[in-house]
Amino acid sequence: MFFYYLQLAVRSFRRNRVLTVLMVLTLGLGIGASITTLTVLKLLSGDPLPTRSARLFTPVINPWAADSEGAVEQMPRWWGDMMSYTDAMSLLHARKAKRQAVTTLTKARIAPTKPGTYPFFGGGVLTTPDFFAMFDVPFAYGGGWSAQDGENRARVVVISSALNNRLFAGRDSVGKMLRVNDHEYRIIGVLKPWAPQPRFYALNFGDTYGDGDAVYLPLQSARANHMLPTNYSCWGPANTAHMETSPCAWVNLWVEFEHAADARAYKQFLKHYVQQQMALGRLHQPRVWLYSLTGFLDREQVVPSDLRLQTNLAFGFLLICIVNTVGLLLAKCLWRSREIGVRRAMGAMRRMIFAQYMVESAIVGITGGVLGLVFAELGLLAIRHQPASYAHLAHLDPSMFAATFAVALVASLIAGLLPAWRACVVVPAPQLKSI
Amino acid sequence: MDILPILASLRRHKVTALLLILQIALTCAIVCNAVFLISQRLHRMQLPSGMAEHELVQIRLGSVGDGSDAKSQTQADVAALQRIPGVQQVAVVNQLPFTEGDASNGDLKLKPGQQTSTLTVAQYFGQNVVSTMGLHLLAGRNFQPEEYVDLDTALASLNNGSAQGFPQTVIITKGLAERLWPGEEALGKTFYLGGDIPFRVIGVVADLARPNQFYNGIENSILWPMRLTFAEGGSYLIRCAPGARRAVLKAGLAKLKELDPGRVVLEKRTYDDARSAFFAHDSAMSDMLLSVIIALLLVTGLGIVGLASFWVGQRRRQIGVRRALGATRGDILRYFQIENFLIVGFGIVLGMAMAYGLSLLLMQHYALPRLPFGYLPLGALALWLLGQCAVLAPALRAAAVPPVVATRTV
């Protein structure tokens, strides 16, 4: 029966070529636009660490702002959700969570030792030992550093796989020296490729998406060599030589709990800490926040609002395309009232007519889906040429590939419902009379 | 021609007509809002910076070593750049209007000890900035050489708890002057920044936009007489004739590499490039919106062609009868044109309500202003035009139906 319907559908397409092409093209355009924007949206709103994110949290406190009500209104989140060194280190040393790490980002000037090569800049993560275990960072060679190394300002560095490929042709470079900001650092670890999207651990310090950072340095060692964070927010005169004691926020604190439920107790601890510091006169605002990883991404509005607008626009476009297809399918089916009348008179049941028309719209949908896939690839090609840090990451993945066909099929079946219904309620007698 | 028979015949195609009306309404709603969004972006992209934009070239170098000889190096660089043929002026400046990245901002207060800051201003400083940027001085004067202080001295004195090493004077924009002291003469007035350091206004320039962060006005900028080095984040800003920019940029880079081959060039561009990079997102977004508008109009136009063709085909006999009874070709043509005009008209009425609703939704989620009413008649006109163009071919085909069709059964 299905093959018969298929045959009928193909015959009907042949009869109205222009109309058919129009429907498929319209549906394809709508599906292509929606899938393009959905792919980018999925890329940007993805979970950077799916296995860990539920247990990872970042606390935020208002580092100063006794009289900043006006300023807060004027400049929301004026401290960029960063923390001062003093607060972050106190909370780090309190060890109230399973693991904790302080992070910030610097522009590291990396100088290859090979003659004839020029120095270049790369992302430098300044952090504390738990960083690697906490974020499940994979090592190819060697490992991270200890808390003792940090305290001793040891000049050790963990490098990315990309940097290792560039400087050491991908060989085990543990023990070799690397010049960072004109200081010699000993390589103690080499990572496997690691670039979580978005780069959640340095959200306020530069590009949100990218190919990952080049070097990872102990925070205290790097600071001893005067490496500066790429972003800091100050509420008084800052002395960049002594960022640790300046009235500035320039680090993030990340904590990992055994269970997500431990967050409640941690927030209590955080409140106590702030109250204690307020009593000492160091802090002035009692409010504290504890964001889960994904909650933090939402708060920092990682997904650009332009993109959400584009996605909504694409779906509006798809809606119009579906309405258009419904109209055209309906026109086609009314055109064939007589044929339906004949089929009904010869014994076809209503549900058969219904099925026949649904098969026809499904074929339109699947063809539209294939075309939509082509349009989506073209759309993503265009996205890759857009000026955004995530642009080059935009590729169609298998799940989106499947989603394309799901969207196409559902869209076309919805579009086919009304015409198929109208077709199966056609009363045969009047149609036959006019012959 | 009478409208009533057309309406009566439309009632017989209720569902298809309603679908077409719905499609036109949705198109109208989205197109009106998309055009408005584009106009918003274009407005943003045309904001004035206040500088002689087409005559500027920027080179920024990364800091090398500990920066102890940065001052003499900066001086040598500036002198070398000035000797390049075609170069009119060279400045060292901490930031430029409409550029991404860290910007120097400060909380400004009108009285010392004021609890809440009045507003946030962008702080520009560097050597020879006003004349190189080509800022238009409206009142007062430019900085005198003896007013300049070094950035590191100023910061060091600040770290020692004294504001003595800081500049005492400031040049502000006209927009900022009007916000701080509406209707009053700004020259000679004093405001406070960075704690309670006083600054006296000695000059007012027409415009100088902030680097980024426009939430409380793009015109809130101030200029300090303060020298900085390339190692402290200063950019070399070179002014030359518009046609000479590429050559000057090339020569400048060669000269700087010659002075020290080991340096890292962080930025090398004309200001026009810097500006278009800053607004690249807006330009990409308006391109995208424009393609959506075109695609929408295309889809809707083709939809009208498809349905109109269907209707014409379905009514061949009816047309034949009318022709046989004396209707001219013009009558038939006009019939389909008026029918389309009515359908699009219904769509537009519904579409305007939808456009307004969509605008409210956008205001809620994307902090956009409300759709001005002027866009609605524009959208209506565009859709009517589209409808008439789309229906023309099917209507002409209808007009060509010979009266003899009336006598045939099929």
| Residues of chain B neighbouring A67 (CB-CB closer than 8 A) | 115-116
Q: Do A118 and B264 touch (CB under 8 A)?
A: yes
Contacts of A306 in chain B (CB under 8 A): 281, 285
The size of the A-B interface in CB pairs under 8 A is 140
Strand-pairing partners, residue B123, are B222
Residues of A in contact with B410 (CB under 8 A): 435
- In this predicted structure, the answer to whether residue A243 has a pLDDT above a threshold of 80 is yes
Domain count, chain B: 2
Nearest residue on chain A to B265, alpha-carbon basis: A120
Query: Same domain for B212 and B312?
Result: no
For residue B93, being part of any structural domain is answered with: no
Of B30, B65, B366, the CB nearest to A316: B30
Instruction: State pLDDT tens for residues A194-205.
Output: 999 889 999 888
Tell me the CA distances in angstroms from B276 to B47, B71, B102, B212, B282, one per residue in order.
12, 32, 18, 14, 9
Contact list, B307 vs chain A (CB under 8 Å): 327-328, 331
Is residue A313 pLDDT above 70, yes or no? yes
Q: Which residue has the tokens 């919106």?
A: B289
A22 to chain B nearest CA, in Å? 7
Q: Of the given ranges (A403-407, B138-142, B405-409), which has the lowest mean pLDDT?
A: B405-409
Report the sign of the C-alpha dihedral through residues A108, A111, A112, A116, in that order: positive
Compute the mean pLDDT over every residue in chain A, rounded to the nearest whole number: 86
What is the per-residue DSSP string for B319-352? HHHHHHTT--HHHHHHHHHHHHHHHHHHHHHHHH
pLDDT tens string B355-393: 999 999 888 887 788 899 888 898 899 999 999 999 999
Every domain of chain A and the residues it spans: 2-45+305-433, 53-299
Residue B270 lies in a domain: no
Do residues B30 and B113 both lie within one domain? no
B contact residues 301-360, partner A, Cβ 8 Å cutoff: 302-303, 305-307, 309-311, 313-314
Average pLDDT over residues B104-118: 78
The mean per-residue pLDDT over the stretch A366-377 comes to 91
CA distance B399 to chain A (A): 20
Contact B284 A321 (CB under 8 A): no
- Residues A88 and B20: their CA atoms lie apart, in Å, by 61
Q: Residue holding tokens 């606390």?
A: A59
Instruction: Check CB contact of B300 with chain A, cutoff 8 Å.
Output: yes
Band (pLDDT 50/70/90 cuts) for residue A73 is very low
- Taking the Cβ of residue B162 and every Cβ of chain A, the question of whether any pair is shorter than 8 Å is answered with no
Selected for mutation to probe chain A from B21, B23, B368 (highest A CB count within 10 Å) is B23
At A6-47, the pLDDT tens digits run: 888 888 878 778 788 888 888 898 989 888 888 888 888 888
- Residue B360 placed within a domain: yes
For residue A6, give both structure tokens: 């298929």
Q: Which residue of A119, A305, A326 is in closest CB contact with B19?
A: A326
Selecting from A30, A70, A387 the residue whose C-beta is nearest the C-beta of B284 gives A387
For A255-269, B25-39, B177-191, B359-373, which range has the lowest pLDDT when averaged over its residues?
Answer: B359-373
Distance of residue B285 Cα from the nearest chain A Cα, in angstroms = 8
Residue to mutate among A324, A326, A342, A434, with most B CBs inside 10 A, is A324
Structure tokens at B251: 């020569």
Residue A75 pLDDT greater than 70, yes or no: no
Looking at the domain assignment, is residue B214 inside a domain? yes
The SS3 call for residue B215 is coil
**Set of chain A residues whose Cβ sits within 8 Å of the Cβ of B26:** 316, 319-320, 323
Closest CA–CA distance from residue B275 to any residue of chain A (Å):
13
User: Closest by alpha carbon to B300, among B31, B34, B114, B54?
Assistant: B31
Q: Of the candidates A266, A211, A249, A265, which has an alpha carbon nearest to the alpha carbon of residue A58?
A: A266
In a domain, B266, yes or no: no
Give me the half-sphere count of Cα atoms (radius 13 Å) on the Cβ side of residue B67: 15
Residue B393 contacts A, CB cutoff 8 Å: no
Find the CB nearest A320 among B115, B119, B299: B299
A144-153, B113-122, B183-192, B240-249, range with the lowest pLDDT: B113-122
Shared domain for B19 and B106, answered yes or no, is: no
Question: Does B51 reside within a domain?
Answer: no
C-alpha R_g of chain B: 32
Contact of B110 with chain A, judged by CB distance below 8 Å, is answered with no
Checking B364-372 for CB contacts under 8 A at 24+ apart, the result is B365/A305, B365/A308, B366/A305, B366/A308, B366/A309, B368/B37, B368/B40, B369/B40, B371/B32, B371/B33, B371/B36, B372/B36
Name the nearest CA neighbour of A157 among A175, A170, A140, A169: A175
Q: Which of A148-157, A398-407, B123-132 shows the lowest per-residue confidence on average (mean pLDDT)? A: A398-407
Is position B194 within any domain? yes
Task: Output the DSSP codes for A220-246.
Answer: HHHHHTTPPBS--EESS---GGGTTTS
Which of A67, A236, A317 lies nearest to residue B296, judging by beta carbons?
Answer: A317
- For residue B174, give its domain range: 99-227
Assigned token pair, B192: 């406070």
Are A32 and A375 within 8 A, CB to CB?
Answer: yes
Q: Do A324 and B285 make contact, defined as CB atoms within 8 angstroms?
A: no
Q: In terms of CA atoms, which chain B residue is nearest residue A34?
A: B292
Measured distance CA(A5)–CA(A190) in Å, rounded? 61
Do B335 and B403 reside in the same domain of the chain? yes
Report CB contact under 8 Å: B277, A387: yes
Test A328 with B158 for CB contact under 8 angstroms.
Answer: no
pLDDT at residue B65, rounded to an integer: 60
Given a cut of 50, whether residue A72 has pLDDT beyond it is no
Note whether B113 and B201 are same-domain residues. Answer: yes
Residue B67, pLDDT score: 62
Shortest alpha-carbon distance between residue A250 and chain B (Å)? 13
Does residue B301 fall inside a structural domain? yes
For the stretch B206-253, pLDDT in tens is 999 999 877 677 889 999 999 999 988 899 999 999 999 999 999 999
- Contact list in B for residue A327 (CB cut-off 8 A) is 16, 19-20, 23, 303, 306-307
Amino acid symbol at A122:
G
Look at residue A434 in the predicted model and tell me its pLDDT.
60
Contacts of residue A308 in chain B, CB cutoff 8 Å? 365-366
